[in-house]
Structures are given as structure tokens and as C-alpha cells.
A and B are shown apart, each in its own frame.
Chain A
């Protein structure tokens, strides 16, 4: 048996309250500065898993400041969910600064190494594609070439699509790293 507990001021049924995180999803880029300690990557990865965020890519490296590393985390989600991800990251003691740069003008780069199957008959054609794509041959073998390609994810995607017809033996991508354009600095901002 149920009872209607609420009798609100309005006579019409109120609209349903929105659920955080149920909006339209899109690709977001989070930049995180973290303390360079063992286990920090594990903390970040564990948190994202536990909170049900799916990481598309994660790139980690040192910064120019001693003791500080930088992560670029790419993930899909609606704006509220990604804001929640950023705030959860902030709860980690070793996370110093998190910034969602999705809506900012940024330079975004990814690097890929592609080992393409090559024969005497198509090697010249492959090299032409590499040249037109501004790639670089970093290893030349009798049956394959390794191409280094870098640029925005979409450009890497396009190149990989182009050489797939020749046969890709191996592919490795770093995931995107991003930096906001202009003189602003996340590393300087954290000190404020």
C-alpha cells in the first residue's frame, strides 16, 4: 500500500529531475599535474575504473618541474560526468591540478609508429603516401617499413586508414597530449 507523501505547491505534475551525467557525451581532454611518485598512475587508473569512467587514452610524462608529472586523459562523457571525473581526481592527494581543456584552443598531438608490410612492387608507393602525409620512415627493411607519424588524432587516424590497404603488421600510438595555446600555463596556475 502506498501513500502520496508530497502535495506540492503546483497543481501540474513537476518535470522529472535531471540525472547528472545523463546528457550528450563527447570527447573531453583533461590535463592533470600529479606528484611524481610511484603508484600515482595506479591511483588515477583505479579511480577512473571504480567511478565508472572509461578512458580512451592516457599519456604520462615528466614536466620541467622536478617532482611533477603531467597526464593527458582523453575520455568520453557528458560535461557533468567529466566535471565529476575531474573533481574525483582532485580528491587524490597526489593530484595537484586538473583542467578540462576541451573547450579551449589547444595544440593536440599524438605520435604513432606503424610497421607497414612492404614489397619491392609497392614500396615506392608507400613512401609517397608517407611523404604526402608528412610522416617519416624510421626503419626500412626488405619486407616492411616503420613509419613515424604525428599530429592531431584525426590526422593519425587518416594515415593509419591509408596504409591499412598495404597491411599493418604492428601499430602503436601514444594517445594525445595537449597544451593550451597562448601564454597561460597550468604549471604556473597551480601555484596560485
Chain B
């Protein structure tokens, strides 16, 4: 390998345009068994997973016995706070943690080896650990766990915790802190991390006494996955990790009794359900808006039953992707700022919006004053604070999406498709128009390089739409949402609320471990990739089979798009140099291939699929392709920009 000292690096993509393959690493790791994270039936772990899933779906305590506190591996060694941490994590059905050691968390690392069933993934940066735990949680529908030390280890977790908070992902973030006696003394690597995570977690704890740890962990898991899910942060002083304790893990009833202020309402109020049913009866142009809450509640079947009974088309938010199979006749499309024109058009002309588990984010509504001007709104959400926050609604229903839909469906009359034929036919026509006009899928764009929507579509097709697809942020995220074609819940993972660049690779790492039965693809731009590419080494060390589709336009594409359209072409800082990604991949030992023309795309995707372990495909995509339509910030859903001077329509 040559190191260029000083000066500019050589342009990475000169020379041959043909596919280049770096596959020594693949050969090296071939044949190594993957570790499955699906528990074997009948084991204590399987029972713990079942318990966790039941609680996530609010189905009440499991009849299966709580996993006993494991006295075994310690041998003669006394039980300390750090043991409680491991016991508690295992009891909750989690078998993998993403972690990075440091001074004050070392007592935990000192005993981690005694818990071989708790797999530890040593990430390369705590942010990667938090995103990986997030990806694990989103792909499994269970709680993800990440661990860091005090000070910088803790602050590095913050972006990942905030990402989970904005997208309601159940996450437990554990940090060590300095010994109790040093708290508040500005000790080495001391920072008030509890104060920092307070506004970005569902709840947080500072534990100074090991005897509190069983209760705190049981509460934290219960809070993270009950009601509207979210991240919980547990900060533990070093002395509490080292302290001997005999404190027992509480049972479910004790946990609930200890949280008098935490009682999420699951069932919609009967009067409100009746009001909602009446709205559905009266509506001529109803649209369902399905959000992340449908996936959290696993209410896909109930959503379908409701939509089919009343013949109502279903639109979805970014995080609502997968709530309905996109091939279903009533599946209408992705809404919002870069959503489909026909979907936004349907919303703007609707007379009733049935919003289920979504929160009228500004990327969904645009200017609220002009949003869905003819529509009355029924809003179903498990978090009462979401109702009436961004838009005023006619019928608020606080409850879990599954239970509300179960109750609502029998209350509405059956409406055959023919009764809505005029409306549904018009929508179908709008859909045909907008799909035809939004597509640049010939394969290559006007600069001869790949068009991104084509690449995304091919990834979807060559994986039979059965993979887990993890987006980064920006144009790649929108292309994925629009063109991959989704069939199943929890197969699309995207940082929707916080919009965290650098999310895709580490989140895909967690998703691949959480759902090993699926192929996992990270769709990432060259900007986001360069933010967390250090996790390539984690993928190799732990042989986590993530396939990375690197969309390299040598730009911060969404920044460039905004600058072109909103900032009069002032492209400050939009151009982004990158390394030779094949050499980078080779250095890490990741099998890699490059594709620059449509003819190379399929072979490159198949190459990655054929690698047993992580692989990277470097797609050289068009430099100036935009995502259209686009709703400029502050404008309304009727103000979509569909093309721009200089781009073929």
C-alpha cells in the first residue's frame, strides 16, 4: 500500500472503469459459522425473549418463568454490581451488546467473560455502538443495548441515543461514571452525562448503590419497550459496579408498583372510537396515514383488515414503510417532502385523514396552514402528547394501534371497492402519472454515471425485496424509501427524526445480528459513509455479513440539491473528496467491487451477495442527480418542485 504524504490524494476513480474486486478477505473468512441470535426453543433464553416480546406488545406477563439469576459462572467469586448488569440484560432476552471499554466501566469488562452467552461486539466508536443497538432493536422489535465508559465514551453515545429518541426506538444505553466520591469534582473523564441525556431519553438513571441495580434495570427495560418505546440511559458509578450485592431482581408486579406515574393507555376510548367510525362512514375521500406506531404495535394485519373492509388507501410515513406490502392494491405510497406526488395530492384532496401511529412531522405536513385543507382528522397514537401537537384534530384516540384498529374495524361498515370506484380510479390514475414522471430508471444519468434510483431498484429486486435495508441520511435515504420496494415490517431502517448521517453502516451491523435470516444492506452516501466507516473493522472482526451499497457522487448530495434549488447554486462545501474505497476496503479486509455503468450493477450486487461476510459495492453515481419531487422547507404539500432547469424531466 502506498501512502501519499502531503498534497492531494490521487483521484480515486481514474483508470479502468471495469469492476475491480478485492476479495482476499472473503476467502480468508469463508466457511466461518455465523452466530445466530434466534434463541433455541425451550431454553431460558427463549423464555426471556418471549417475555420481552410480550411486554413490547403489551400482552401482559408471560406464563413462562422468569430466567433465574444465574449463580453459576462466578464460582467462588462474590456477586458484584457488574454481575447484576449482565444478569439483568440476559433476563430481558438480550444476547448481544455493543460496547467500548474505558476506565470506569472496566469492572464490567472484568466479569463479562463469565457470561459467554452474552455476546459482546467491540465497536470502534461508541456512536457506532449506539446505532448498532438501535439497528438491532428495529430489526428485532426488541430492546437494544449499548455500553460506554464515562466522559467521552458517554458523550459519543449521545448522537445514537438522540437518534433512538426521535424515532421511538427501545434502547438501553449504559455508561460507567467516576466513583461516587468523585462525582461533582470534575474528576478525570467525568461529565454530567445524566444532565446531557435527560432531554433526549424517555427516562434516565444515575446508580450509586449496587443494591439499586436490579430494580433500575427492570424498570429501564419496562419503560423502554412499554407504551411509546424509547431510549433509557443508566449511568452507574464505578464503585457501584464493584460493590458486592445480594439484591434480587424484582418481578413484573414489583416493577409496575414502583412506577406509579407510568401507565400507558392502550385501548381507545369507546366514545372516540364511535366518533371515528362515524367519520369513516361519512367520508368520500378517506386516506390512512400509517406510521411507525403500526410497526411497533405489530398491527400490520389489523391495518390491512381495516383498510380492506372500508376500501381506504394507505399512505405511509418514512418510518411507516413496511406497515403494508407495497404491492397491495390499497398501498398508495410514501408521503411528505420527498414522497410521491400522487400521495401528497391524495392527502391534499382528502376529506378524512386516519392517522395511525404517526406524528405529523414537518417533513410530512410542510406548512401546516395549507396541509390537507379539506380533511377532517382522526389521530390514533399511544402518546397523548402527539395528538394536537402539530395539527388540530377532530377525533383524538389515545391507544395502541393494534388494539384501536381491532376495536374500530367491526364498527365500520363494509365498503366494497366498487362503491369507491370513482375515487380509487382517480387515485390510480394519479399514481400512474406520478410514477412515470418521477423515474430516471434508464440506468445511467446524463453524465453517463449511474442513476441512483436505478441502483436502488436493482438492489431491491435482486434481493427479492426480502432483505433488511438500512438507510443513511440524505438523497440515498429518499431514493431507498421511494424505489426499493418493501414487503415486510421492520425491513426498512432509517434515521427519520434526527436524520443522523453515519447511521447506516453501524445500524446495519446491529440489524444483521438481530435478523440473521435476512440479508442486510446498508444504503449509504459517500458523506455518511465517511462519518462512521471505522466500523468496517468491527464487521470484519465479528464477521457480520453487512452488504454496503456506497452511493458515491463525490458530493453531499442533498446539500448540493438544496444549494442548487434554494441557494441559487452556491455550492459551498457540497463537493466532497473521498478515498479510493476499494483500497480502503482492502485495508480493512472487506471484499469490495466497483460499478460505474448500468451493465455492471447486477454483477456487483450479486458479487456482494456471494460473499460470506461483509462486502462493499462502490457505486459511482451521477454527480448532480436530484431527488424529486421536493417540497421546499416552509412550503406546502401542494407546492412540490418536480423538476429543475438543466435536468431532463
A and B are interacting partners? yes
Q: Taking beta carbons and an 8 Å cutoff, which residues of A are in contact with B?
A: 1-10, 14-20, 34-35, 39, 42-43, 46-47, 50, 80, 83-84, 87-88, 90-97, 190
Q: Provided the pairs A2-B641, A10-B374 are in contact, do residues A18 and B392 lie with their beta carbons within 8 angstroms?
A: yes
Q: Provided the pairs A6-B637, A8-B349 are in contact, do residues A17 and B369 lie with their beta carbons within 8 angstroms?
A: yes
Q: Are A93 and B262 in contact, with the CB atoms below 8 A?
A: yes
Q: Are B223 and A17 in contact, with the CB atoms below 8 A?
A: no
- Looking at the complex, which one of A4, A14, A93, A190 makes contact with B202 (CB distance below 8 Å)? A93
Q: Are B644 and A1 in contact, with the CB atoms below 8 A?
A: yes
Pick the 7 closest A-B CB pairs, nearest first: A6-B348, A14-B373, A87-B385, A96-B261, A5-B345, A16-B369, A8-B374
In the bound complex, what is the Cα–Cα distance between A90 and B263 (angstroms)? 10
Q: How large is the interface on B (under 10, 10 to 19, 20 to 34, 35 or more residues)?
A: 35 or more
Q: Which residues of A contact B372 (CB under 8 A)?
A: 17
- Looking at the complex, which one of A9, A20, A43 makes contact with B389 (CB distance below 8 Å)? A20
Residue B406 is within 8 A (CB to CB) of chain A in the complex: no
Q: Are B637 and A5 in contact, with the CB atoms below 8 A?
A: yes
Residue B58 is within 8 A (CB to CB) of chain A in the complex: no
Min Cβ gap A42→B in Å is: 7
Q: Are B385 and A93 in contact, with the CB atoms below 8 A?
A: no
B383 nearest in chain A by CB position: A91
Q: Are A50 and B199 in contact, with the CB atoms below 8 A?
A: yes
Q: Are B198 and A5 in contact, with the CB atoms below 8 A?
A: no
Q: Are A6 and B349 in contact, with the CB atoms below 8 A?
A: yes
A19 nearest in chain B by CB position: B368
Q: Are A84 and B373 in contact, with the CB atoms below 8 A?
A: no
Q: Are B261 and A92 in contact, with the CB atoms below 8 A?
A: yes
In the bound complex, what is the Cα–Cα distance between A39 and B384 (angstroms)? 24
Q: A1-B641, A35-B260, A93-B261 are in contact. List 8 more A-B contacts (CB 8 A).
A: A5-B345, A5-B637, A6-B347, A7-B349, A17-B373, A35-B261, A84-B389, A97-B261
Q: Which residues of B contact A18 (CB under 8 A)?
A: 392
Q: Which residues of B contact A87 (CB under 8 A)?
A: 384-385, 387
Of A34, A43, A83, A91, most buried by chain B (CB within 10 Å of CB) is: A91
12 contacts between A and B (CB under 8 A): A1-B644, A3-B642, A5-B640, A6-B345, A6-B373, A9-B374, A15-B373, A17-B391, A19-B369, A84-B389, A93-B261, A96-B261
Min Cβ gap A154→B in Å is: 31
Q: Taking beta carbons and an 8 Å cutoff, which residues of B are in contact with A?
A: 194-195, 198-199, 202-203, 223, 259-262, 284-285, 341, 344-345, 347-349, 351, 368-374, 383-385, 387-392, 637-644
Min Cβ gap B264→A in Å is: 10
Q: Are A5 and B370 in contact, with the CB atoms below 8 A?
A: no
Q: Which residues of B contact A1 (CB under 8 A)?
A: 641-644
Of A3, A16, A90, most buried by chain B (CB within 10 Å of CB) is: A3
Q: Are B384 and A5 in contact, with the CB atoms below 8 A?
A: no
Q: Which residues of B contact A8 (CB under 8 A)?
A: 348-349, 373-374
In the bound complex, what is the Cα–Cα distance between A8 and B371 (angstroms)? 12
In the bound complex, what is the Cα–Cα distance between A31 and B461 (angstroms)? 57
In the bound complex, what is the Cα–Cα distance between A103 and B284 (angstroms)? 39
Of A5, A34, A97, most buried by chain B (CB within 10 Å of CB) is: A5
Q: Which residues of A contact B203 (CB under 8 A)?
A: 92-93
Min Cβ gap B57→A in Å is: 20
Q: Provided the pairs A14-B374, A20-B389, A20-B392 are in contact, do residues A5 and B638 lie with their beta carbons within 8 angstroms?
A: yes
Q: Which residues of A contact B341 (CB under 8 A)?
A: 3, 5
Q: Are A3 and B640 in contact, with the CB atoms below 8 A?
A: yes
B374 nearest in chain A by CB position: A8
A13 nearest in chain B by CB position: B373
Q: Which residues of A contact B202 (CB under 8 A)?
A: 91, 93
In the bound complex, what is the Cα–Cα distance between A8 and B644 (angstroms)? 26
A93 nearest in chain B by CB position: B203
Q: Which residues of B contact A47 (CB under 8 A)?
A: 199
Q: Which residues of A contact B388 (CB under 8 A)?
A: 20, 80, 83-84
Q: Which residues of A contact B348 (CB under 8 A)?
A: 5-6, 8
Q: Are B223 and A93 in contact, with the CB atoms below 8 A?
A: yes
In the bound complex, what is the Cα–Cα distance between A93 and B256 (angstroms)? 12
Q: Are B349 and A9 in contact, with the CB atoms below 8 A?
A: yes
Q: Are A20 and B370 in contact, with the CB atoms below 8 A?
A: no
Q: Which residues of B contact A2 (CB under 8 A)?
A: 639-641
A7 nearest in chain B by CB position: B349
Q: Which residues of B contact A34 (CB under 8 A)?
A: 261
Q: Which residues of B contact A94 (CB under 8 A)?
A: 261
Min Cβ gap A72→B in Å is: 18
Q: Are B351 and A20 in contact, with the CB atoms below 8 A?
A: no
Q: Which residues of B contact A92 (CB under 8 A)?
A: 203, 261
Q: Are B285 and A9 in contact, with the CB atoms below 8 A?
A: yes
In the bound complex, what is the Cα–Cα distance between A135 and B370 (angstroms)? 55
B261 nearest in chain A by CB position: A96
Q: Provided the pairs A9-B351, A88-B385, A90-B385 are in contact, do residues A17 and B261 lie with their beta carbons within 8 angstroms?
A: no
Q: Which residues of B contact A15 (CB under 8 A)?
A: 373
Q: Which residues of B contact A17 (CB under 8 A)?
A: 368-373, 391-392
Min Cβ gap A184→B in Å is: 19
Q: Which residues of B contact A42 (CB under 8 A)?
A: 195, 198
In the bound complex, what is the Cα–Cα distance between A96 and B392 (angstroms)? 26
Q: Which residues of B contact A96 (CB under 8 A)?
A: 260-261
Min Cβ gap B233→A in Å is: 12
Min Cβ gap A33→B in Å is: 8
In the bound complex, what is the Cα–Cα distance between A190 and B263 (angstroms)? 11
Min Cβ gap B187→A in Å is: 20
